[in-house]
Amino acid sequence: MATTVATTPNAGKKASKANAASPSLSNPVLIPAAKSMMFETEPNSPFQDGYSIAGERAVLAEFLADPQRKFDENDPLYDRHIELIDREDQLDRMKAKYQSSKGADPVVEHKEAVAMNFLGSLVDDGVDQMSLHTKEAFRMFMGRSRDPEKQLQPIIGGKRVAAALRALWVLTGNDNPYADWGLLRHEQTIKELGKLLSKHIADAQAALDQQKTRGLTFSVLQSSSPQVLNLGFKSPYGYAVAQLVSDFDYFVRLQKTLERKNLRSDQQVRQIITETTRVIRRVFNETARFDRWLMRDEMKGLCRADFVPDGDPEGAKRVQFATEVFGSCPAEVYAGKLQPRHSRRRIQISPAERKLLQVVSDEMLRREREADAGALDEAAEQEIAAKLV
């Protein structure tokens, strides 16, 4: 912040009034030139001359605190006070004009700018659908509850996982770091699943293409009556699950095509489908586990502020419970350096609160490094012991 000397129209007003009191045609009125006045400036000032309202308020702090000085026109700071009032009024008018025009470019007419107030939100009028050809994929999406005779194990399906992901997505709006972590883990594992399915699909396509080069063109099996499911998910993560299930459906079709065309044995196809199914269900189970514990009534209020030392006792209980169930939240997740692809976190915190949360994050990172160092030391000791045997 800098101090600038400038002229102001408020300076010299008192002298002008005295001259105007006794005008004479033979003696013209002499209007004194405006006096130079110093004022504080700042780079991001809304005024062209760089005038700083905050800077002037700091300079005039003692003047403004004294009710008598504010009305003393002989005070050397009086003119700066009048200028401050004028600049604040100007700024208020500038803000009002900006708000009324919705921040539009000056070339935009006012009636065009206010039309933004009547702009509706984006809606999903169309119906999102997914077509499935295989029973394996349909079961993967639908899941299975426990049967009355309790002979079959329940299966967590894609529909259930989509609901769990939506719950975690909603919890991110409460600044819940474990919800962030749950979504991040799901994103990472589902990405690996995508790579796995892509590899299997590419291998199967390559086998079919190899036959094509030899003069044999095989069509991919498809259902005589594929089932079309309406999706309508309430969060972006539901559509990621639908994409996974759709890829799995095509993967199964390709594998059974290879079996039908005598390019794979029955055992080979059963094994690859079973192994891939188990991997996907393992991911679904972990995601549902985050939802099951974090959505308990006593855990819904978990947030980053609960981790602050000497904070709310109930918050400390929530942190202890989450740590016992899931382990310590990674420091980079707590600090927000790692964030899920989609989040409802819109928390506005003060610099002091941000600094406090950073202290907590640094402590978490220190503990992680100590734990990693301890694990390395233990591994080294085991390696030395093995050599001595």
What's the whole-number mean pLDDT along residues 214-219? 94
Q: Which of 8-12, 128-132, 262-266 has the lowest mean pLDDT?
A: 8-12
Contacts 24+ apart (CB under 8 A), 44-49: 46/91, 46/94, 47/87, 47/90, 49/4, 49/6
Measured over the CA atoms of residue 328, residue 332, residue 336 and residue 340, the dihedral's sign is negative
Phi and psi torsions of 99, nearest 5°: -65, -45
Residue with tokens 């045609």: 25
Identify whether the C-beta of residue 319 lies closer than 8 Å to the C-beta of residue 306.
yes
Q: Give per-residue pLDDT as tens, 225-255.
A: 999 999 888 889 999 999 999 999 999 999 9
Question: What would the mean pLDDT of 200-225 be, rounded to a whole number?
Answer: 95
Q: Is the whole model's pTM more than 0.95, yes or no?
A: no
pLDDT in tens, 88-122: 999 999 998 888 888 888 888 888 888 888 888 77
- Per the model's pLDDT, the better-predicted residue between 151 and 204 turns out to be 204
Residue 176 makes CB contacts below 8 A (sequence gap 6+) with: 294, 302, 303, 304
pLDDT digit string (tens) for 35-85?
Answer: 567 889 999 999 999 999 999 999 989 888 888 887 888 888 888 899 999
pLDDT of 280 > 60? The answer is yes
User: For residue range 294-346, what is the model confidence (pLDDT) as tens digits?
Assistant: 999 999 999 998 998 877 899 999 999 999 999 999 988 988 888 999 998 87
The H or E element that residue 311 is part of is none
Report the candidate in 221, 245, 253 with the shortest Cα–Cα distance to residue 129.
245
pLDDT at 12: 46
The per-residue pLDDT for 36 is 67
> Does residue 17 surpass a pLDDT of 90?
no
Condensed to tens digits (0 to 9), the pLDDT of residues 162-190 reads 999 999 999 999 999 999 999 999 999 99
**Quick check: 284 and 267 in contact, CB under 8 A?**
no
Q: What is the DSSP letter of 118?
A: G
pLDDT digits (tens, 9 = 90+) for 126-163: 788 999 999 999 999 999 888 777 778 889 999 999 99
What are the Cα distances from residue 246, in Å, to 21, 36, 167, 318?
A: 90, 75, 23, 38
Single out the residue of 66, 87, 67 nearest to residue 8, CA to CA: 87
Q: For the chain, first and last CA: distance in Å?
A: 72
Query: For residues 123-158, b (16+ Cβ closer than 10 Å) or e, as one string?
Result: eeeeeeebebbbebbbebbbbeeeeeeeeeeebbbb
